[in-house]
């Protein structure tokens, strides 16, 4: 087990996600608490890749409202309605949304003016209910692709496969 989060910015993405899933598995072994999982997963992703903002918006009113959860980075907005912004769109449509240019996304909610691109991944629990979304913002344009989508969906599978 590595004592610190590795810098994976120059590691091929598929390999980087492999290493993060391995670390997540070890770090969360024996735990099932969703907030502990969100905090640990945010820290791993944020520091390994040097993102601008990495964190979770939790479903606090099903099909209606998301509220900020554990995150790393600059201040995030607190509440997001389903259907609003990238997070609300991913939550309402229950699918991963990759935004290469946030300025071109209608309704994008700008929490940090430096954000250029974004990815939002839905997080499901063991019953198939939407628990949260994982939101990552980058100051690099077009930072996220299908490899990130697959890697992040693999990381958030912890919430689906962990019974609580
Ligand atoms: N950009 C997001 C809002 C959340 S923050 O960027 C942390 C959105 O459009 O949903």
Report pLDDT digits (tens) over 74-131.
999 999 999 999 999 999 999 999 999 999 998 899 888 999 999 999 999 999 999 9
Which residue CA neighbors atom 3 of ligand 1 most closely? 109
What are phi and psi for residue 88, nearest 5 degrees? -65, -30
DSSP-assigned beta bridge partners for residue 99:
118
Q: How much is the pLDDT for 77? A: 94
CATH of domain 13-161: 3.30.450.40
**Ligand 1 in contact with 135 (CB < 6 A)?**
yes
User: Which atom from ligand 1 is nearest to the alpha carbon of 118?
Assistant: 1
What are phi and psi for residue 69, nearest 5 degrees? -125, -155
In angstroms, what CA-CA distances link 109 with 15, 55, 133?
31, 15, 15
User: What does the pLDDT look like over 14-55, one tens digit per residue?
Assistant: 999 999 999 999 999 999 999 999 999 999 999 999 999 999
Q: pTM of the entire structure?
A: 0.96
Distance 85 CA to ligand 1 centre (A): 6
- Alpha carbons 101 and 117: distance in angstroms, whole number: 5
- Indicate the domain borders of the chain: 13-161
How confident is residue 3, by pLDDT bands cut at 50, 70 and 90?
Answer: low
Which residue CA neighbors atom 5 of ligand 1 most closely? 111
**Ligand 1 in contact with 68 (CB < 6 A)?**
no
**Ligand 1 in contact with 76 (CB < 6 A)?**
yes
User: What does the pLDDT look like over 72-86, one tens digit per residue?
Assistant: 999 999 999 999 999
Q: How much is the pLDDT for 1? A: 52
pLDDT of 2 strictly over 60: no
- Alpha carbons 134 and 121: distance in angstroms, whole number: 5
């Amino acid at each position: 087990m590595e004592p610190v989060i590795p810098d994976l910015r120059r590691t091929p993405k598929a390999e980087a996600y492999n290493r993060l899933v391995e670390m997540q598995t070890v770090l969360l072994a024996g735990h099932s608490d969703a907030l502990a999982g969100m905090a640990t997963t945010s820290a791993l992703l944020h520091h390994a890749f040097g993102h601008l903002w990495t964190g979770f918006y939790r479903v606090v009113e099903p099909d209606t409202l998301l509220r900020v959860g554990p995150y790393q980075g600059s201040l995030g907005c607190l509440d997001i309605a389903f259907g609003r912004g990238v997070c609300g769109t991913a939550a309402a449509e229950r699918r991963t949304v990759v935004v290469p240019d946030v300025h071109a996304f209608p309704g994008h909610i700008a929490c940090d003016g430096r954000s250029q691109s974004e990815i939002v991944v839905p997080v499901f629990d063991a019953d198939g209910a939407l628990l949260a979304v994982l939101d990552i913002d980058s100051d690099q344009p077009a930072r996220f692709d299908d490899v990130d989508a697959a890697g992040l969906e693999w990381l958030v599978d912890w919430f689906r496969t962990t019974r609580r």
